[in-house]
Chains A and B, each alone.
Chain A
Amino acid sequence: MRRIGALVSRNQRFIPLLATAVLAFVAYGVGAIIYPGMRDPQVFINIFRNNAYLLISAIGMTFVILTGGIDLSVSGVMALTTVASAALLREGWNAWVVILLMLVMGMALGGVMGSFIAYLKVQPFIATLAGMWFARGMCFFISDDAIAINNRTFRILGGTKILIPGLSDPTAKQGDFVSIFLVVSFVVLAVAMYLAHYRPFGRAVYAIGGNEGRNEQSARLMGLPVKRTKVLVYTLNGFCSALAGIALGVFVLSGHGLYANGTELEVIASVVMGGTSLSGGVGYVFGTLFGVFILGVTQTLIQFNGALSSWWTRIVIGVLMLIFIGVQSLLAARKRGRRRAAAREAGAPAPTAVRNRRLLVFGGSGAVIVIVLALIAINWIPKSPGDETAAKTSTPSSVCEFKPFRQDQAEIAVETGAVVTYERNGGPDCIDELYFIYPDGRIVGDDGTSKIEKQMTPADVDTLLAGINDLGWFTDEMYNTWHTPCGQCYGYYLTVSYDDHIKTVKGVDGGTDAPADYWQVVSLVKGIVPRFATAP
């Protein structure tokens, strides 16, 4: 026991990191038990594949936070990169030149912000806020609308599947794969770890941060190049943001000024969850990987659940951050406590009352966390398989028997004038809902037993159709991604008739290779159709 205690206190600085890693894997494990679909190795890979841009950006942010600063401009720079590269590619520029130019642009923006912070003593918060506004505004100077990227190199960058030996069949070119930018993000991670832990630059970064800015003074007195390091850190982060922007642009194959809105929060949250202290000086680049992992697992769990809305991601991340910060400040309190104990031995009195009160508050906030978690659980459990509600609606087994799509019914509806037919099948409650949207704004829903109707204006339908068309419904980019769905996932069957085109795409939730804009189309339609009352 004592040896364990010694081990813990010797490796105390790794505890937040370890906690993050353990929690991430536990969350994934729980998900894999509840949702068999999550056991697919590809789903695991996709957690990183879909968040590759987040990881790249979070790595740069880790350095900034280690110096005790903050960079709010990352999302703006990302959006600017997507728009600028899309616009340049549309003009026919060479893709590699564009990528190089974007990286230089990101570094320049970061460098300028860093100089403001280091030399003119502007608060990082304010300088990077102005940077974010500037970058986002510039996006709209370039283009008001989304620009599609049709460049071949970008398509290859986004579409290449690097098959994993052992998990795939190279001759049939099928199986589990990683994307190019997933590899890139891990290369960036390796380089960043080398920079942080084996280079003078990294040591200077750690020396500057922490202790509410007082360490900066000590670092300067030690003769470390404080100002130059700061500028370099923000330049590095600008580079990472631009690279993340390219990864995002390649992933969604378009550019728009509203992309990555609010991403800076997710990036900062990943860094904090990865065990880096926001006051700087404490933390590991490697931990950021697990911060992003937790974020990705949360998103995946919510996607697989299907019944929870996306805003739960935010609440869960908020609660997780509270827990991590709680652990961090508990460790800090223990450290202080030990120092006080040492002081007591030297004869100084110890204010134990303060510590007791802190414990009380910790108990209180712990109780709040438990309540919130309980609330989440209450929301979750009825939707999990094997439960009464799920059993009542259909099969008693944990996996729902998938009903075939009612294709003929949909075809007839299209012939009689429906512009959109949308069928949602499966899910935790094993539903089968078929909706028709007519040009006069009438929406009819049919779940096999009952029907509901909703009336919209014809203009709404026009906007919907135009939106679906803009997202590339009738291009080759929107293809079927139908495989056997996981037990709790939804399958979708979506027919759109617009401008004399009729096209049907089938897809499935938790799908691993859905086209970039497919989910946006689905969410457009999903948001408009009326809801059936769930089983009482």
Chain B
Amino acid sequence: MRQSRSSFTWRKVSESKLFFPVAALALILLFDLILVPGFFTIQTREGNLYGSLIDIVRNGSTVALLAIGMTLVIATGGVDLSVGAVMAIAASVAAILMNPYVLAKELPPHLMKLINDPTFTWQPLWIVILVALFVAIVCGLWNGLLVAYVRIQPMVATLILMTAGRGIAQLITNGVRIQIFYEPYAFIGQGWIVLPFSLYIVAFVYAIAWILTRKTAIGLFIESVGINFRSSFFSGIEEKKIKLLAYTFCGFCAGIAGLVASSNIKTSDAFNIGLTLELDAILAVVIGGTLMSGGRFSLLGSIIGAWVIQAITISMYAVGVPAFALQAIKGVVVILLILLYSEQVRGFVRRIGAQKEA
């Protein structure tokens, strides 16, 4: 009796969607526990928390935001490669709205002073944020239109914006790296209310996505479209609108991620913001247990996936792997993690469960 109950819990745990992402995170943290002394210490300074663990969630918040949107897109059976470019566009729009004078070639002295004045902004912050997010949503809408209504394959449709988007961002900023001096904007990425402010943003976006997908039927529709869009269509689900919604939401998330990233480095760099982050985001989703072929998805899993990626990065730094070599290690770890997800390993875990049951 006792045995069967324990096997029941094991199976429940091992078959939970969160089992593998949490196991991966635990594996990396275990590695840190053994090799990096003091990795888990958390300090308080002026009531705020600091430490390696906090760094993981703070630096991972950009990818986590992207991953939330990406999860919905991947769940519909698509993929969005343009999120990095959309980040750059949103950041560029925000930077220009705060300080359009940086683009001018020559300025009268009274405006020249404004360029690096930390209290100056051309438009109020809420307009800056709203317009940047609006532009990002339009980008997402464009992707969604191409995928849902023109029926272009998702990878190709979003590749277009991925290629052109960064060019558009450079067009907006005239190819210049714009430093952002406005102090309140920096709070988005660098602020701290006990925990990093960006973590609250992640929680907020997660809450929106969670309510949208789990408290309405939309989540179910998304899964059904991802599993078989034709039969969803025949059962009366407007699969095109569902896809459109997913891509638009992904654009929205990418916009927020762009704001967080640019505020974190206080610079809008159309060349580098979000470069290759689309790959990180997709990886986070895959680590989080959502299949690339679409269908069932786990938002929380994707966020944990983003933290797994960041945990790899931070532990590598902590062990003393030089920054440039990090990518090679990351590549190897990714392959190992993906192997962990393969059918063979899943079967092995299932067999353990079966043995316990026997």
Q: Which residues of A contact B (CB under 8 A)?
A: 70, 72, 116, 120-123, 125-127, 129-138, 140-141, 144, 257, 265, 268-269, 272, 278-279, 309, 311-315, 317-319, 321-322, 325-326, 329, 333, 357-358, 361-362, 364-365, 452, 530-533
Whose C-beta in chain A lies nearest to the C-beta of B148? A361
Whether A130 and B335, one on each chain, are in contact in the complex, defined by CB atoms closer than 8 angstroms, is: yes
**A contact residues around B330 at 8 Å (CB):** 130, 133, 137
Chain B binding surface SS class: helix
Q: Which of B178-186, B194-202, B211-219, B320-328 contacts A (4 or more CB under 8 A)?
A: B320-328
List the 5 shortest-distance A-B pairs measured between CB atoms, nearest first: A137-B328, A318-B164, A140-B324, A134-B331, A314-B167
Q: Determine which of B322, B328, B334 lies in contact with A138 in the assembled complex, contact meaning CB atoms within 8 Å.
A: B328
Supplied contacts A133-B330, A322-B160, 6 more A-B pairs, CB within 8 Å? A126-B283, A137-B327, A269-B163, A329-B151, A358-B150, A531-B105
Whether A530 and B105, one on each chain, are in contact in the complex, defined by CB atoms closer than 8 angstroms, is: yes
A311 with B171, Cβ < 8 A, contacts A126-B283, A358-B151 known:
yes
Q: Give the one of B151, B153, B325, B327 with max A CB within 10 A.
A: B327
Whether B283 and A278, one on each chain, are in contact in the complex, defined by CB atoms closer than 8 angstroms, is: no
* Complex CA–CA separation, A361 to B152 (angstroms): 12
**A contact residues around B282 at 8 Å (CB):** 125-126, 129
**B contact residues around A358 at 8 Å (CB):** 149-151
**B contact residues around A532 at 8 Å (CB):** 105
A480 to chain B, nearest CB (A): 29
A136 with B164, Cβ < 8 A, contacts A120-B339, A321-B159 known:
no
A534 to chain B, nearest CB (A): 9
Number of A-B contacts (CB under 8 A): 143
Q: Determine which of A129, A136, A452 lies in contact with B106 in the assembled complex, contact meaning CB atoms within 8 Å.
A: A452
**B contact residues around A70 at 8 Å (CB):** 155
Q: List 27 A-B contacts (CB under 8 A).
A: A72-B279, A123-B286, A126-B286, A127-B335, A129-B279, A130-B331, A130-B332, A131-B331, A133-B330, A133-B331, A136-B328, A137-B326, A137-B328, A137-B329, A140-B327, A141-B328, A272-B156, A312-B167, A312-B171, A314-B166, A315-B164, A315-B171, A317-B163, A325-B156, A329-B150, A329-B152, A358-B150
B168 to chain A, nearest CB (A): 6
**B161 at interface, CB cutoff 8 A:** yes
Whose C-beta in chain B lies nearest to the C-beta of A318? B164
* Complex CA–CA separation, A357 to B240 (angstroms): 12
**B292 at interface, CB cutoff 8 A:** yes
Whose C-beta in chain A lies nearest to the C-beta of B292? A123
**B145 at interface, CB cutoff 8 A:** yes
Whose C-beta in chain B lies nearest to the C-beta of A131? B331
Whether B152 and A325, one on each chain, are in contact in the complex, defined by CB atoms closer than 8 angstroms, is: yes
**B30 at interface, CB cutoff 8 A:** no
Whether A120 and B155, one on each chain, are in contact in the complex, defined by CB atoms closer than 8 angstroms, is: no
**Would you list which residues of chain B between 306 and 358 have a CB under 8 Å from chain A?**
322, 324-332, 334-335, 338-339, 342-343
* Complex CA–CA separation, A311 to B163 (angstroms): 10
**A contact residues around B159 at 8 Å (CB):** 265, 268-269, 272, 278, 321
Whether B167 and A313, one on each chain, are in contact in the complex, defined by CB atoms closer than 8 angstroms, is: yes
**Would you list which residues of chain B between 133 and 167 have a CB under 8 Å from chain A?**
145-146, 149-153, 155-157, 159-167
Whose C-beta in chain A lies nearest to the C-beta of B154? A278
Whether A134 and B155, one on each chain, are in contact in the complex, defined by CB atoms closer than 8 angstroms, is: no
A137 with B331, Cβ < 8 A, contacts A311-B166, A314-B163, A318-B164 known:
yes
**A contact residues around B79 at 8 Å (CB):** 125
**B175 at interface, CB cutoff 8 A:** yes
**B contact residues around A72 at 8 Å (CB):** 279
**A contact residues around B339 at 8 Å (CB):** 120, 122
Whether B163 and A133, one on each chain, are in contact in the complex, defined by CB atoms closer than 8 angstroms, is: no
Q: Determine which of B105, B292, B325, B332 lies in contact with A141 in the assembled complex, contact meaning CB atoms within 8 Å.
A: B325
Whether A122 and B342, one on each chain, are in contact in the complex, defined by CB atoms closer than 8 angstroms, is: yes
Whether A533 and B106, one on each chain, are in contact in the complex, defined by CB atoms closer than 8 angstroms, is: yes
Whose C-beta in chain A lies nearest to the C-beta of B171? A311
